[in-house]
């Protein structure tokens, strides 16, 4: 997919990855960009930043609520006629293990997993009717590997990958393209909490959101499933599938190394 003249929706667009993607799509010549987030001030700022480059619209929405995702899609369709690319990007992080409260588990599940389901329900009918459309779902390298220090994040990002795979398998022969964005550490508000170097996810370096946007554009042009801003992730995936037990042993060593840092991060969220 070439972004020029396309209608794009980006959730989580008030800051970080979503803001960077919105700005890059505008510079690539998108016909229109709808920026969505729960942070109205951030949405307004992103829209102001790109308004001279494209038709920009801001819509406040909580992607963990289906009715708000549906309203976001309906408003964009009403204004621009169709959606070429829906970037389901918003996500949250919750530190801790199985003892994280059920309420917190449900919250991260709704935002990191169900938001992709809600987006697909809302946008696929019009895409399938046109016979074309693209879904870019932000997951994480944690969805392909794991996340030391956070069971909820690891589990939800694995589920996000699983859903993206299913979408590609089910609708790929009907004109629907699907990509899963799976970075390691990116300099955002999420990685700024606790260890500023991104913790274990930052072992291969902390990317700026603008660097990640470059990889997104390149991968969308190739229409490949995995978007890997950190190419090392592919090597780790191969090691994991080649010898699962050896890989688990290595992850246990990483867990031991970062246990104190992640415990402090969990405590900071209490």
State pLDDT tens for residues 155-166. Answer: 999 999 999 999
pLDDT tens, position by position, 125-137: 999 999 999 999 9
**Is pLDDT above 70 for 71?**
yes
- What's the token pair of residue 235? 């090597």
Distance CA 214, CA 212 (A): 5
**Is pLDDT above 90 for 209?**
no
Distance CA 178, CA 268 (A): 36
**pLDDT value at residue 203:** 64
When pLDDT is cut at 50, 70 and 90, the band that residue 190 belongs to is low
**pLDDT value at residue 196:** 45
Choose the weakest-confidence range: 52-56, 66-70, 92-96.
Answer: 92-96
Task: Give the active site residues.
Answer: 153
Distance CA 233, CA 147 (A): 13
Choose the weakest-confidence range: 9-13, 19-23, 192-196, 207-211.
Answer: 192-196
**pLDDT value at residue 268:** 64
Helix axis angle, 16-27 to 40-50, nearest 10°: 20
What homologous superfamily is domain 7-269 in, according to CATH? NAD(P)-binding Rossmann-like Domain (3.40.50.720)
Please state the φ and ψ torsions of residue 56, each to the nearest 5 degrees.
Answer: -120, 135
Distance CA 219, CA 136 (A): 10
Element (H, E) at 135: strand 133-138
For residue 169, how many other CB atoms are within 10 A of its CB? 10
Q: What angle (nearest 5°) sits at the alpha carbon of residue 255, between those of residues 151 and 108? A: 15
Question: What secondary structure letter does DSSP report for 136?
Answer: E
């Amino acid at each position: 997919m070439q972004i020029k003249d396309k209608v794009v929706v980006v959730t989580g667009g008030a800051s970080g990855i979503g803001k960077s993607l919105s700005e890059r799509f505008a510079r690539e010549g998108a016909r229109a960009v709808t920026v969505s987030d729960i942070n109205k001030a951030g949405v307004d700022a992103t829209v102001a930043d790109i308004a001279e480059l494209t038709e920009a619209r801001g819509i406040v929405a909580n992607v963990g609520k289906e009715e708000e995702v549906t309203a976001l899609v309906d408003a964009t369709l009403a204004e621009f006629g169709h959606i070429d690319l829906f970037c389901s990007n918003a996500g949250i992080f919750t530190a801790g293990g199985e003892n994280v409260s059920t309420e917190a588990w449900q919250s991260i599940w709704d935002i990191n997993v169900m938001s992709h389901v809600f987006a697909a329900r809302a946008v696929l009918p019009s895409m399938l009717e046109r016979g074309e459309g693209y879904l870019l779902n932000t997951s994480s390298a944690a969805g392909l590997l794991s996340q030391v220090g956070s069971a909820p994040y690891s589990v939800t990002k694995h589920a996000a990958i699983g859903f993206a795979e299913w979408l590609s398998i089910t609708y790929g022969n009907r004109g629907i393209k699907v990509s899963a964005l799976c970075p390691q550490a990116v300099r955002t508000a999420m990685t700024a909490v606790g260890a500023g170097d991104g913790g274990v996810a930052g072992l291969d370096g902390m990317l700026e959101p603008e660097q990640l946007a470059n990889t997104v554009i390149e991968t969308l042009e190739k229409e490949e499933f995995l978007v890997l801003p950190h190419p090392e992730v592919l090597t780790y995936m191969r090691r994991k599938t080649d010898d699962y037990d050896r890989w688990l042993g290595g992850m246990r060593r990483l867990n031991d190394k970062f246990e104190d840092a992640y415990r402090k991060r969990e405590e900071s969220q209490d």
